[in-house]
Each structure stands twice: as C-alpha cells, then as structure tokens.
Chains A and B, each alone.
Chain A
Amino acid sequence: MEPVGNKEELIRRIAVALRGHEGAQAAAAPPPPAPAGIGTEADRISRFREQFESHGGNFLSASAWEVLLPALGEELRMAGVVALFFPDGDAEARRAAEALVPFGPFTLISPAEARQPVSPLTAGLQTAEFAIAETGSIVQTSRGGTSLLPGLLPDVHVALLSPAAFVDRMEECLAAFGQDPPRNISFLSGPSRTADVEQTLTIGAHGPKKTVAVLLP
C-alpha cells in the first residue's frame, strides 16, 4: 500500500516545536571517539571466549580437524542432535557437516526441512562473518544472499569462526558495512533465554538452546 500520513507536516510540526529552543540549529557533533582496542588476535580470541562462555555459549578450539571433529561430535550427541543442516553456498559449513556424520547418529537435512514446524533435533552449521570480542557475540548477516536460518531455527547453533573474523568492538564490526548495511545484521550472544516466568532464567525460549562457537584450525 501507499505510505499514509503527511510526513512533511510531521517534520514541520517538529520544526515549529523546536523553534526558539537552544540547540535547534546546533551543528552535528563529531562522531564519538573510537574506544581503545583490545590488542592482538590472541587477546581478541580469549576475550571473545570469556564473554561468549559467560552468556552460556560453548567454545571449542583445537589445533587440527582430527581433534576438533570428535569433540564437536560429542557436544552435539550429548545435546541429542540427530540432524545437521547448513545453508546453500557455505562451503566451510558443508565440509564440517559432512565430516561430522561418522561421529554421531547424524543425517544431513536441507534448510527447507529444518524450516518445518516439527523437525528432528537439529544443529545448524554456519561460517560466522564476525565475532565481537567485547561482547562475545557471533555476527551473522544477510550480506550476499546469506541465510540466517542456522542461528535462528534449530535447537543447536554451530558457528564456525576463522581467526580473521574476530574484531575488538561493535564499532569495528559496524564500520565494515559503511553506509550500506545488509538487510539483516544479527549479533548472537549465547543461547536464547527468557526470565519472564518468576524472573527465573530459562534457556531456549524461541531460538537455539545451545550455541557452539568453533575456532577453525
């Protein structure tokens, strides 16, 4: 439908309300000073880990895939996962999912199957775009037609992180998009939670009940 309501009139009304009050003509202030950096790549990763774990997330790292895969398989098996999916076009996630199959009762399902109201206990694997050290957040976006389903629908979200994905603060992450952010930028900080019943923290409201961040070897 066409836009409704008179926008020009609203702006005029506000301008009139502001007339004669200090500051109405004030020049734009300079952007806030950039916060101090966290340090080296290793510092960023360890800070991320500390924050991500404080949100209830699981962090896995290993020097080689041969060590990592059994550990990740064990995590997923313990969570009761029986199905794995990855978004189309995510080569890293596909490789990880396929390599995981021998390490548990896992079958690969398609994103469309993961979208069904009743699906088997599923883990969604995806390469993360950024990881923010300050807040312990995994960043997934829709940039370049990327799907957001792996961090949204399944019971378990597995984010694959390359060491280059880590940034100090939220500022650096947002600056990477400039004035043209993708349709959806999501900061994901641990499993979905609610405290709406008697202020008692309960995990797994609508989103994943378990989140695993995997540092790629």
Chain B
Amino acid sequence: MEPRSHSFYRNSEKSLADTTLQAALSRTTGKFVYARAASVDAYPGFEDVRSEGARIKKETLDALDRHLARFLEEAEKRGAVVHVARDAAEARRIAADIARQEGVTLAVKSKSMVAEEVDLNPALEAAGVEVVESDLGEFIIQLAGEPPSHIIAPAVHKSREQISKLFEQKLSEPYTEEIPELVRMARKHLRAKFLAAGMGISGANFLCADTGSVVLVTNEGNGRMGTILPRVHLAVAGIEKVIPRLADLPIFLRLLPRSATGQAISTYVSILTGTKRQGDPEGPEKLHLLLVDNGRSGILQGKYREILKCIRCGACLNICPVYQSVGGHAYGWVYSGPIGAVLTPLLTGLPEGAPLPNASTLCGACAEVCPVKIPLPKLFLELRADERDQGLKNPAEVFGMKGYAAVMSRAGILEAMERILGVLSRLFFKEGRVTWLPLKLSGWTGKRDFPAPAPVPFRKLWKKHRGIRPWNR
C-alpha cells in the first residue's frame, strides 16, 4: 500500500471524529491490555522469560549473517526452495512467478504483515491468482477493500452490523447481528476455498536456523489448513524472523501469546519443516520460502538495530495512549502504534514517516510491555534527532525548543519566567484556563482548554511555606 504517514495529523483528525472507530478502539485496546496483564500476573517467571527472549533476539541479530546462512542451508537440505528479495518489487515479482510456474489459480492466505508491507496480493492477482485471506479479520477487511488496522486484530474498526452488511453484499448471506452466525458463514465459505486451493500462503512467526523450520502461531486454525491441504506452500518472511535453534522456540511461545492476547498459549502452533515425505498422506509437495530484506539489512547497520527484535505481538499498540485514541489507519501504512512509529520511517524514509516518532508522549508504557525489551521511546528520540539533523523540523519548533532548553537549564531565568507568566495569568486568564493559542500552539487548545500558569508559582509558595524570605536566604 502507498504510505500516507506524512499526513498523520490529518488522518488522526478523521479517526478522532469517527465514532464507530472510537467505540471499537476503547473496547478492544482495553480488553487486550487487561488480558495481557492478567496472564503475565498468572505466570511468575514471565520477567525471566522476557529477559531470555530479548537476549536470544539480540544474539541472533548480532550475527544474523551466520544464522540466516544456516537457516537457508538447513531449509534447502529438507526440500524447501528458498528465494530472497532485496525489495518489495522483487518480492512481488518472485511471488507472481512462483504462482505462475506452479499453475496456481486459487490461493488461501493466512495473516502476514510482511506480505502487506510488500503489497503481495495485487501482484498475485495481476498474475491471475485469486487470493483469499483466511484469517477472519483479514477476510473481512479484504471484502471491504481496506488495510488492517491492528497487527493481530486487523478488523477491530468494524462493527458486527458493518460486517454483516459486507457478507450480505459479497457472500449473499442473510443479515444477522449474531457473531457466531457470522463466524459460521465465513467458516463455510472459506472451507470450500481451503479444499480447492492450489497454494497456501503464510507469513512466519519464527524461522528456526538449526532445522530450517517455519513456525506459525494462530488461533483460528487457518494457518494449519493452508499449510496441510494445498499442494504448494509459500511462506513469506522478513529476514529478521530467524531464531538460532528450534530449542529456543518455547521461550517465544511463552512470550508471544501472553503479550498478544493474554493467552497462555495460542490454540495452534505449527512447526513446518520441509516438504511432504514418502508415505505422508497429506502435506505440500512444494515449499517456497520467500525471504524479504526490503531495507532491513540497512536498519541492522545503525542505531535502530533493536527494532528488528520485534515479534509482532501488538502489545505496544494496545497500551499506547496515542494508538488508543487514533487507531491503526491514522499511522498511514502497514505498521501502526509505537512499533509502526519506528518501523515506518525506517522502511519508507524519514520525510514520509516524519510525524510518527512525534506521535508519542514518551510515557514509556510500550517499552514496559514489549516482550523482547525494545527501547521504543529511546528510538523515538533518535528519530526526532535525525529529523532535526535532516532539516525536517519546523524552524520555529527548533527555535522554541532551544529557548525552552535555555530556560529550563537556568533556575533564575525559569523563576523569573514563572513570575511573569503568573502576572499575565492573573491579568488575562481569570478563569484559570487558556482557551486559545495562536498558530502551531493551537494544538494545545484546539480540542480542550490548557491550564493557565499558576498566578503564584510553586517555588514562591514553597519558600513562603518554609519561611524563607529573600533577605534571609
């Protein structure tokens, strides 16, 4: 999809005014945050597992060349055909070629963020393949022609009424407001697709280097269907998905479901190694692995390497006060929330993603819930600094920040400013509220009143309370 992250502020305005979205967001993020906290509380060893997960991911990235080479070797040894794509265009071309050469006309796809990132579906459709999204949320937004708005709950922004109307139009099903009915309709429709499809397309939650295995974690069972029933399996994965050993997997299976949905384990974990073997009654005869770089090796080089530790659980989205308010679409591209605020500028370039690292209060909640301890707020600050260095900041903002720094680092000037503002406050803001500020500052008053500076500054009150007088200081 074409990124629209540069218009984050305009996108947000729209999201904030969308009442259906606002209701969905408060319901969803609240549930996820609560479920995650409860499951972490119920698992006393979580913090140790988290440290171990962060350590393994760091170990992997620090020697990614070695681990990836091992993965390629082991996967090929077991019958996989491995393709590597330098960028999105190459990934699309390779996938379309695979579909064409395998003679595929119908493919069932389970959720993959990287497939969204490289815009896989349109390329496959152009190659004459009907691509059916099989994750229920993805299926819904595919029918609606929209991008996902949450990493693990792509259709959070849709109400049951909207979904039923979609099913009425596109699947000729009768209108219903019963959720189990809607799920049953999708099951029936998709089951026929699973049984008829020539190819299953999946992402990968993990790639195990020592066995060449692809690991898929799902709740619905669509990932299993698409990798057992069709003749061909195409797995698309970013190069950072590698973990060194199959034996490391349990650590991540303890982290991912708890962080994502608050489950102790997701319903289905599939560990897929190679192709159908002699005597196997089912399973794919062909396994194509498409590993996508698309800017990741560049990220590896610099100070943003740690962002590649991400296991795409979505915990940082749910806990983020900005995401909770504006939702996923406002971020303008595939990845949203705090992880998107770092990944989008790095993958699409800073001018495009420039507003996103600023879409944070630096409250730090994202770093606190991250299962692999990515220091997200630190990365926001690094990106903001890069924006300044590249001249992407408004000169007025740079000037304002310099002034702010100058005042805040000098106690005397700060005190003088406080007193001046106190006097102004007494003269102009009798209600104790600022209701209007000019130009860029209007962000503080546009949607609410800004509290006026205190008529008597705290320091003055404090000195009075302690009995300190200027003359006996």
Residues of A near any B CB (own CB < 8 A): 1-7, 10-18, 21-26, 28-29, 31-32, 35, 51, 54-55, 87-88, 111, 115-117, 135-137, 142, 144-145, 147-149, 152, 169-171, 174-175, 177, 179-200, 202, 204-208
User: How far is it, in angstroms, between the C-alpha of A21 and the C-alpha of B300 when the chains are bound?
Assistant: 10
Within the complex, the shortest CB–CB distance from B258 to chain A, in Å, comes to: 11
- Smallest Cβ distance from A203 to chain B, in angstroms? 8
Closest CB in chain B relative to A168 CB, distance in Å: 11
Residue of B64, B86, B154 near A18 (CB, 8 A) is B64
Quick check: B179 and A202 within 8 Å, CB to CB?
A: yes
**Given A32-B251, A194-B220, A181–B213 Cβ distance below 8 Å?**
yes
**Do B83 and A183 have beta carbons less than 8 Å apart?**
no
Contacts of A24 in B (CB 8 A): 62-63
Instruction: Quote the shortest CB–CB distance from B61 to chain A (angstroms).
Output: 8
Q: Chain A residue with minimal CB distance to B222?
A: A206
Q: What is the CA–CA distance of A3 and B80 in the complex, to the nearest angstrom?
A: 9
Residues of chain A within 8 A (CB-CB) of B211 are: 179-181
How far apart are the CA atoms of A116 and B184 in the complex, in Å?
A: 17
Contacts A4-B84, A208-B221 aside, 11 further interface pairs with beta carbons under 8 A come to A5-B85, A23-B59, A51-B264, A145-B281, A148-B228, A171-B250, A185-B270, A187-B265, A189-B269, A196-B135, A196-B153
Mark each residue of chain B from 194 to 208: 1 if its CB lies under 8 Å from any CB of chain A, else 0: 110000000000000
| A61–B224 alpha-carbon span in the complex (Å) | 28
Beyond A174-B246, A192-B221, is A18–B56 a contact (Cβ under 8 Å)? no
Which A residues lie within 8 Å of B247 (CB)? 31-32, 171, 174-175
**Residues from chain B with Cβ under 8 Å of A177 in the complex:** 246
Say if the beta carbon of B121 comes within 8 Å of chain A: no
Q: Are the CB atoms of B228 and A7 closer together than 8 Å? A: no
Which A residues are in CB contact (< 8 Å) with B101?
1
Smallest CB gap from A89: residue in B: B281
Q: Which residue of A15, A17, A88, A189 contacts B267 across the interface (Cβ within 8 Å)?
A: A189
B370 at the interface (CB under 8 A from A): no
Is B18 positioned at the interface, with any CB of A under 8 Å from its CB?
Answer: no
Bound complex: CA A139 to CA B253 (Å): 15
Of all chain B residues, the one with the shortest Cβ separation from A139 is B269
Residues of A within 8 A of B83 (CB): 3-5
> Is the CB–CB distance between A187 and B85 below 8 Å?
no
B160 part of interface (Cβ distance < 8 Å): yes
B297 interface neighbour in A17, A26, A142, Cβ under 8 Å: A17
Interface residue? B112 (CB, 8 A): no
- On chain A, the residues within 8 Å of B134 by CB distance are 206
Are A26's CB and B62's CB within 8 A? yes
Decide if B282 touches A199 in the complex (CB within 8 Å): no
* Closest chain A residue, CB of each to CB of B272: A184
Cross-chain contact B187 with A197 (CB below 8 angstroms): no
The 9 tightest CB contacts between A and B, nearest first, are A207-B221, A23-B62, A145-B279, A205-B220, A196-B137, A5-B84, A170-B250, A17-B301, A187-B269
Complex Cα distance A183/B288, Å? 14
Shortest Cβ gap from A57 to chain B (Å) = 10
Complex: chain B residue closest to A116, CB-CB: B195
Closest Cβ of chain B to A217, distance in Å, is: 28
Asked if B297 and A198 sit within 8 Å, CB to CB, the answer is no
A148-B267 contact in complex given A6-B84, A17-B301, A202-B180, C-beta closer than 8 Å: no
Interface: B192 (CB within 8 A): yes
Q: Which residues from chain A contact B275 at a C-beta distance below 8 Å?
A: 183
Smallest Cβ distance from B138 to chain A, in angstroms? 8
Contact between chains at A206 and B190 (CB < 8 Å): yes
A211 to chain B, nearest CB (A): 9
CB distance from A23 to the nearest CB of B (A): 3
Q: Are B56 and A32 interface neighbours, CB within 8 A?
A: yes
* CB pair B273 A192 closer than 8 Å: no
Question: Across the interface, do A149 and B282 meet the contact criterion of CB distance under 8 Å?
Answer: yes
Nearest CB on B from A120, distance (A)? 14
Once the chains are docked, how many angstroms separate the CA of A163 from the CA of B390?
65
